[in-house]
Amino acid sequence: MGGGLELSRGPTMKEKLVIIGSGPAGWTAAIYAARANLDPVVFEGAGSRTMIPGGQLMFTTDVENYPGFPGGVTGPEMMMAFRQQAERFGTRIFTEDVVKVDFSVYPRRIETNMGKVVEADAVIVATGANAKWLGVPGEEHLARTGGGVSACAVCDGALPFFRDKTLAVVGGGDSAMEEAIYLTNFAGKVLLIHRRDSFRASRIMAERALENPKIEVMWNTVVKSVHGEEEIRGLRVADTVSGEERDVEVGGLFVAIGHEPNSGFLDGQLELRDNGYIHPAEPGRTATNVPGVFAAGDVIDDYYRQAITAAGTGCMAALEAERWLAHGGIEQDVAVGAA
């Protein structure tokens, strides 16, 4: 992997296990690791416009499909409960971003935006993925407040808020087709908005969407703004050919233009798939190509992207890290390699 990165030379923390990220995967890993007496440290992130500590669930008002909450729970409430449970068992938490890592040295070295330098015997990367947003006026406000803008139809589409309404889906790939088809189970009508005159989705998915009587496609159309103060009222859209703009009434907007894994800070030090998601060393496991570094949650999952699957891989990563450390960690790996 080449030489080490230039990291700050301030006071260094020496830790057994560091967890980077604070969504369902990160907190679940922390709970399991803390109960195993690994004394984990979690860097939960400092927050930005599109990602805050707690991950994508912090933008979800009602979660009805996570087992154990028969009356539902808000995303922020769930993440606070996860966080408190991790703290209960002794997890130490820093509200800082990890900006650099050096996995070419052992212990692995980590630096935060506050200049903190950490040496860790094992690391779990659980930094999640960012939904791509349109970046138009009104979108972010209504996404944050639960006013009817979402990036996950499977997460939110069945909520009473969206039932029997005209809903809009923006996108032209397989994800957009899947979301539009899924929403027809609850919506009165689904508007599938795409900026071109043909989909980039696979033929079978495009045909399913086009043949669904509840789906109306708005070709060559882009969203210019989202209307509504407390709840979405409609969209301002524009024709990409004529430039003509008009208003469309909708009761919900689902943005399905993809996700970006939060893996850029790794600077190529872990093996990634072509789309930027971390590639586990073995299928169905969380170990990466670097001994002692594990990955969990949406940063390795470009398919399911659900809270419960993220939590499951967080559990897996903590168990794998615990067993790796218990069996001698890097010293065992070196001994095996020399055998």
- Enumerate the active-site residues: 152, 155-156
C-alpha dist (Å) from residue 36 to 57, 183, 226, 320: 26, 42, 48, 12
Burial label, 135 (beta-carbon count in 10 A; 0-12, 13-18, 19+): exposed
Do the beta carbons of residue 163 and residue 187 sit within 8 Å?
yes
CA 8 to mean position of chain CA atoms: 29
Do the beta carbons of residue 256 and residue 153 sit within 8 Å?
yes
Alpha carbon distance 115, 98 (integer Å): 9
Alpha carbon distance 188, 82 (integer Å): 36
Q: Which backbone phi and psi does 90 adopt, to 5 degrees?
A: 100, 10
Other CB atoms within a 10 A radius of the CB of residue 174 amount to 17
Alpha carbon distance 276, 262 (integer Å): 8
Alpha carbon distance 228, 154 (integer Å): 23
Specify the amino acid at residue 108.
Answer: R
Q: Which backbone phi and psi does 121 adopt, to 5 degrees?
A: -70, -35
C-alpha dist (Å) from residue 77 to 69, 84, 131, 310: 11, 11, 21, 17
